[in-house]
Amino acid sequence: MNATLKISMAFLALTVLSCSVEKKASKTFDRGQFQSTIELYQGVLKKDPNNAEANFYIAESYRQSNRLQEAAPFYKKALDRGMKNDSIHMFYAFALKANGNYDEAKKELEQHLKVVEDEEYQKRGQEEYDNLNNLEQVRAKKNYFRVKNLDEINSPAAEYAPVYNDGELYFTSSRGDSKIYKATGTPFTNIYRVKTQGARVDTTTITELDALINNYNINEGAVTFSPDGQTMIFARGNSGKKKGTADVNLYISSNRREGWTEPRMLNINNPGYWDSTPAFSRDGKTLYFASNRPGGYGGTDIYSAKRNSRGRFYKVTNLGPEINTTGNEMFPYISDEGYMYFSSDGHAGFGGLDLLVAKRRNGRTEIENLGEPMNTSADDFGMYLFKADRGFFTSNREGGEGDDDIYTFVNEDPDLKIVNYYLEGVTMTHDDNDKLVILPRVEVKLFDYEGNVLDETVTEDDGKFLFRVYEHEHYNLVGEKKGGKDQYLITRAQFTTVGKSIDRDTLKQLVTDVKFDTLLVLEKIEKNKIFVMENIYYDLDKSDIREDAARELDKLVTILEDNPELKIELSSHTDDRADDDYNMKLSQRRAKSAVDYIISQGIASNRLTAKGYGETKLIIPNAKTEEEHQVNRRTEFKILEVGEKKQSTDVDEFDEDRFFDDDDAGQ
């Protein structure tokens, strides 16, 4: 065999081998086995360092396994060798940003915006370009944070998502001898706990949760606890088996005498999608989590789910574009003062995930980057406050013990004063003796003045409800009694915090709670029941609807809109200071005028009857004083017909019964 033929055959064998390796690498990439993909394509690069496809897929594997900093040189080499697609310039920019190369990142985004055709990539690239232009403004923000690596518990492996519960710090880690996770090439993660007093940990007590919670060949992720510590919700990843779940899901377990119960999947998961980083609200009635389910604004969005009195979850809601971006938002945490801390790579920041806080001010949600040193060009996430001015978070910044590390922080702001405002109320009704009594099981919603639902709850046997409210805002409360043999009017009440703020300069303590009290009275719906309308006044001998009367009639319009099953009679009454015939005609004109006004506001005319009673139904006969005459001059409405009230059914809450039996009610 001549030398030329030998060389040709050797080259052919090498080409076949290379194609076989690349085919295998492509399959591992599609299965999410990113570390295996990297190793296979590294083999290709040893023989062909300029292979554009190998460089690109190594970069993508690093990015998708949360190692964005390591992706940068491979994106560059792929670009230099002519790789073209709609994402490469943008993801290269993200990698440059993660390494602190902001100017170069902007240049790549400029190039990306010139050539990109995909609408979502165009929007994401523009958002990130704008964020980089705002970086100096973020950097200029003054803060008083001091951070320290919690090196007592950190290791060369990953430690992240710290949560404090009943004297113990829970965290997730890839330490130990678990099976290797092919996406990262590191052991599967498990949940650990360690006894601690604040940031002082007893390292001798570091313990892995038992096998009921932790699986040898599955990733356990972030964890949260209900306020009483009796319910644990955590993330658990896929097993890679055909019968396993397709992605990360949320699981729930209850604390019994014998320990934690067998975890069960929450019904609010969206099978096949990523649901993770859970966090309870401070009252335990809402669960926040991140998900990449369809219908969001970007990669992963933050959602909320309500928790009813039986411990079941329903009504999953996206938190909207103020919080969520075309990027990724995750690791929500609700502090005692009602702020939501979370991590994002879609808001203006330093690179990777940044720690941010969402605060409600003057009726709007404002997002603030926590700035340096809380944030770096690396990933900073998973914040938890164990006091108002100190807590924990996670970062993979330079100078740590290894992979992700847990850090402690203190906010040394000398002007830090936290004021919590609450609206505390009771749902009530009138009994047969016209005495106010507690009305339990009322659904109460808190609306802002734009009609957005801010919070909701169902009252217990004591009728009590409690909502967090904020300074300088107007609110509406709506109460609705569902179910039961009796029907009640849906009732609204207004409340405002305008002019009720406390001067922080007068406060000495770090945290101050302020509570406002209110009653929400729901009246029973009964045929022929009469309600007196307050403040419906007419000018002397006239029936025109004055502006102040219109405001009161608008309240009746709202009642009729909220309670479409009602038909009413609207009646007008006079005093007895004119002759009977005159008073009768005047009262009829006034009643008709009021009905006409209500019809003009969109209420069907067949639901309304106008009736003037003149002076035939005096409350105070032989009235002497002007005050007594005013009692007689009144406008009333009487319920004529009560149709069947349609009970709204929350599909999510109804469907949850498929996932739980009665033994799970406490969860």
Q: pLDDT, tens digit, for every residue of 358-372?
A: 999 888 899 999 999
The pair of structure tokens assigned to 409 is 């922080």
Check residue 496 and give its pLDDT.
95
Instruction: Name the region of 472 (left: φ>0; alpha: ψ -120 to 50; beta: rest).
Output: left
State the chain's mean pLDDT as an integer.
Answer: 89
Q: Is the separation of the CB atoms in 174 and 403 below 8 Å?
A: yes
Q: How far apart are CA 405 and CA 395, in angstroms?
A: 5
Q: What is the mean pLDDT of residues 194-216?
A: 92
Check residue 652 and give its pLDDT.
41
> Of 34, 82, 87, which Cα lies nearest the Cα of 58?
34
Which tens digit of pLDDT belongs to each residue from 261-281?
Answer: 999 999 999 988 999 999 999
Residue 203 confidence (pLDDT) above 70? yes
Select 145-414's CATH number: 2.115.10.20, 3.40.190.150, 3.30.1370.10, 3.40.50.970.
2.115.10.20
Which tens digit of pLDDT belongs to each residue from 547-600?
Answer: 888 888 998 999 999 999 999 999 999 888 888 899 999 999 999 999 999 999
Q: Give the fold, CATH level 3, of 3-139.
A: 1.25.40
Check residue 14 and give its pLDDT.
42
Check residue 347 and give its pLDDT.
96
Which tens digit of pLDDT belongs to each residue from 226-271?
Answer: 999 999 999 998 655 544 456 899 999 999 888 899 999 999 999 8
Q: How far apart are CA 73 and CA 64, in angstroms?
A: 16
Q: How far apart are CA 236 and CA 244, in angstroms?
A: 11
Helices (H) and strands (E) in the chain, counts: 12, 36
Contacts of 73 (CB under 8 A, 6+ apart): none
DSSP 286-309: EEEEEE--TTSSSSSEEEEEEE-T
Which tens digit of pLDDT belongs to each residue from 75-118?
Answer: 999 999 999 999 999 999 999 999 999 999 999 999 999 999 99
CA torsion sign for 396, 402, 405, 407 is negative
Degrees, nearest 5: CA angle 513-517-521 = 150
- The class level of CATH for 530-642 reads alpha beta
Which tens digit of pLDDT belongs to each residue from 415-437?
Answer: 899 999 999 999 999 998 989 99
Query: Token match 């006079």: residue?
Result: 574
530-642 matches 418-525 in CATH topology: no
CA distances 665 to 443, 594, 649, Å, are 19, 50, 19
Check residue 540 and give its pLDDT.
66
Query: Would you say how long the chain is, in residues?
Result: 667
Which tens digit of pLDDT belongs to each residue from 471-490?
Answer: 999 999 999 998 878 889 99
Which tens digit of pLDDT belongs to each residue from 321-350?
Answer: 999 999 999 999 999 889 999 999 999 999
Q: Is the separation of the CB atoms in 321 and 372 below 8 Å?
A: no
Residue 657 confidence (pLDDT) above 60? no
Which tens digit of pLDDT belongs to each residue from 281-302?
Answer: 999 999 999 999 999 999 999 9
Residue 543 confidence (pLDDT) above 90? no
The pair of structure tokens assigned to 292 is 């990449």
The CATH code that applies to domain 418-525 is 2.60.40.10
Instruction: Name the region of 428 (left: φ>0; alpha: ψ -120 to 50; beta: rest).
Output: beta
Residue 494's CB is within 10 A of a number of other CB atoms, namely 11
Check residue 238 and give its pLDDT.
67
Q: Is the separation of the CB atoms in 567 and 641 below 8 Å?
A: yes
Check residue 432 and give its pLDDT.
87
Would you kindly state where each structural domain of the chain is located, as residue ranges? 3-139, 145-414, 418-525, 530-642
Residue 46 confidence (pLDDT) above 70? yes
Check residue 546 and give its pLDDT.
81
Contacts of 168 (CB under 8 A, 6+ apart): 193, 194, 195, 196
Check residue 245 and give its pLDDT.
52
Give the least confident one: 68-72, 270-274, 352-356, 461-465. Answer: 270-274
Residue 665 confidence (pLDDT) above 90? no
